[in-house]
A and B are shown apart, each in its own frame.
Chain A
Amino acid sequence: MKLISEKGVKRILGTVAFSAISVLFLIALFILNEGLPFIFKYGIKEFLFSSDWQPQQNKFGIFPMITASLWVTFGAMLIGAPLGVAGAFFLSEYVPKTIMKIIKPTIELLAAIPSVVYGFIGVMVLAPIIRENFGGPGLSLMAASIILGIMILPTVISISIDSILAVPQSYREGSLALGATTWQTIYMVTVKASKSGIIASIILGLGRAIGETMAVIMVAGNSVNIPHSALDSVRTLTANIALEMSYATGLHRQALFATGVILFIVIIILNSFASVAIRKRARKK
């Protein structure tokens, strides 16, 4: 009797787990099925490297969007990664444990704020500041990078803290016993021991930044334009899909699915880098 119920539980849990995987599989299949035929029909080279996006004239080049996605993500990393990692080290090495236990969940709350709210703050506060102080339309690459930089902070900080705390206390004690200061201990011992975890946190942040849509549509301005400065307005891959999907039909619609295929591939590559980094850390322990 006991054996049967044991088997039953296993089967139920298995079904649940499998359905999650099959949903992912179905999504991938659907996007590829809708997008790939277009890519082959239109030509991979033309699709990826032409900067002419004029759906009305059947011209679909997503080079400006790829460039924009990479620049916006790079900008977000420039802001989010140093702030996040520095914050994580401060919280885990300098601040008493009890205080950190209050601050860390507070930072994680940042992740619970809907992206539309970030976008709204970007439009109402950040864009006017950029427009008045630096010129340009305000809705720009810079605005998108700053907003995304803030949005990825909780990811970077909380995963970094976890990996820093996973460094055995004896490492720190050893370093301190040799006469090193707290800072020397951090950059000579803790950083090295928690490196793969920190890299994983940055890559996960990267994945979040490149996939973010709503906030970016609101603050980036959405011009189909290869940016020449941080003040130029840009359109990312995600924004391209979301902006035009509601009106698109026929070839245009397929081109948007093809944009999704490219985005999907980029994110899969990033995530596999992250999981390799995380696995490396796990093996070390």
Chain B
Amino acid sequence: MFNVKKIISVLAVLAFLISGCGKGRTAITLAGSTAFQPFAEKLADEYMSTHNEVSITVQGGGSAVGIQSANSGAAQIGMADLVILPEEAKSLTATIVAKDGIAVVINPQNKVSDLTTDQVRDIFNGKITNWKEVGGADAPITVVSREAGSGTRSSFEQIITNVNLKKDALIQDSNGTIRETVANDANSIGYLSHGLINEKIKPVKIDGEESTEESIIAGKYKLVRPIYLLVKGEMTGEVKNFIDYILSDEGQKTIKSNGLIPAK
């Protein structure tokens, strides 16, 4: 009998706590770009630590999902990392919260250090197939790209222009596996998010410009894509507060210290 009482009282306390948690909290859901997802999670944590009246959930799914769920209302904020937003996103209010450079990377053993936009296009289209044509050793080029639909891939192809990826290019499904593939194969070339460059791969200069943060901010390095937050209709209430927080000095500092380039 005593046990039953104990259990009931514990349950009652739990129920009280749970109901207390949800009370009066505004829920915001972000969905979309996997490139921005970790940053959004970090920003959400920081924001919630000072604003406990808001509860923010961050989901991935890719830029297409971001646009779709902002449109359908499944998420209050959609995240997209595309150079040109598609038709469906026209009706949404878009805010650029950060920028991300796309680095063209090769194996550190490769002597090539500088490519022009035309050379990059020809390599990915299969017109240039040997490294000696661009000043490297006599070795066939292994092209590594992302899967169709990836935001990084469509941004890359839109900036380089007229890319019609050659058929035998290897396809990897994330920035991380692109990095591993390029790190393992001395003759390969790929592209990935600027924030993910490490010592196992070597970024090349594009048209003489390095993919450093300074040259991206100065607007010299051309492979840069904006990261958009998309909201249906006007931004209001907590959604607006959260986006304002991301754009504030504090939010932009978080973005910068984790490898992305601030919007301003």
Query: Which A residues fall within an 8 A CB radius of B?
Result: 53-56, 123-124, 127-128, 131, 135, 137-139, 217-218, 221-225, 232-233, 235, 242-244, 246-249, 252
Contact = CB atoms under 8 A, between A and B. Distances in A.
A223 B61 contact: no
B39 to A, nearest CB: 19
18 contacts: A54-B148, A124-B184, A127-B184, A139-B170, A139-B181, A221-B170, A222-B147, A222-B170, A225-B167, A225-B168, A242-B173, A247-B63, A247-B150, A248-B64, A248-B149, A249-B68, A252-B148, A252-B149
Q: Which of A54, A135, A235, A243 has the most CB of B within 10 A?
A: A243
B133 to A, nearest CB: 18
A131 B185 contact: yes
Contact of B172 (A127, A222, A252): A222
Contacts of A127: 184
Interface in B149-183: 149-150, 154, 167-173, 177, 180-181
Given A127-B184, A217-B173, A224-B171, 11 more contacts: A54-B148, A139-B181, A222-B173, A225-B167, A242-B173, A243-B171, A246-B62, A246-B173, A247-B64, A248-B64, A252-B149
Given A221-B170, A222-B170, A225-B168, A247 B148 contact: yes
Interface string B104-148: 000000000000000000000000000000000000101000011
A223 B65 contact: no
B141 to A, nearest CB: 10
Contact of A137 (B65, B68, B150, B188): B188
Nearest to A235: B171
Nearest to B177: A218
Which applies to chain B's interface (DSSP): helix, strand, loop or mixed? mixed
Contacts of A243: 147, 171, 173
B171 A247 contact: no
A224 B167 contact: yes
Nearest to A128: B184
A138 B185 contact: yes
Interface of B: 34, 60-65, 68, 140, 142, 147-150, 154, 167-173, 177, 180-181, 184-185, 188
A221 B149 contact: no
Contacts of B65: 247, 249
B148 A55 contact: yes
A232 B236 CA distance: 54
A244 B62 contact: no
Contacts of B147: 222, 243-244, 247
A53 B184 CA distance: 28
Contacts of A221: 170-171
Contacts of A235: 171
A123 B180 contact: yes
A249 B64 contact: yes
B171 A137 contact: no
Given A123-B184, A137-B185, A233 B168 contact: yes
A102 B116 CA distance: 61
A116 to B, nearest CB: 12
A252 B147 CA distance: 13
Nearest to A51: B167
A157 to B, nearest CB: 32
Contacts of A54: 148
A225 B171 CA distance: 11
B171 A222 contact: yes
Nearest to B60: A246
Contact of A223 (B64, B140, B171, B180): B171
Nearest to A227: B168
A99 B62 CA distance: 53
B183 to A, nearest CB: 11
A217 B180 CA distance: 14
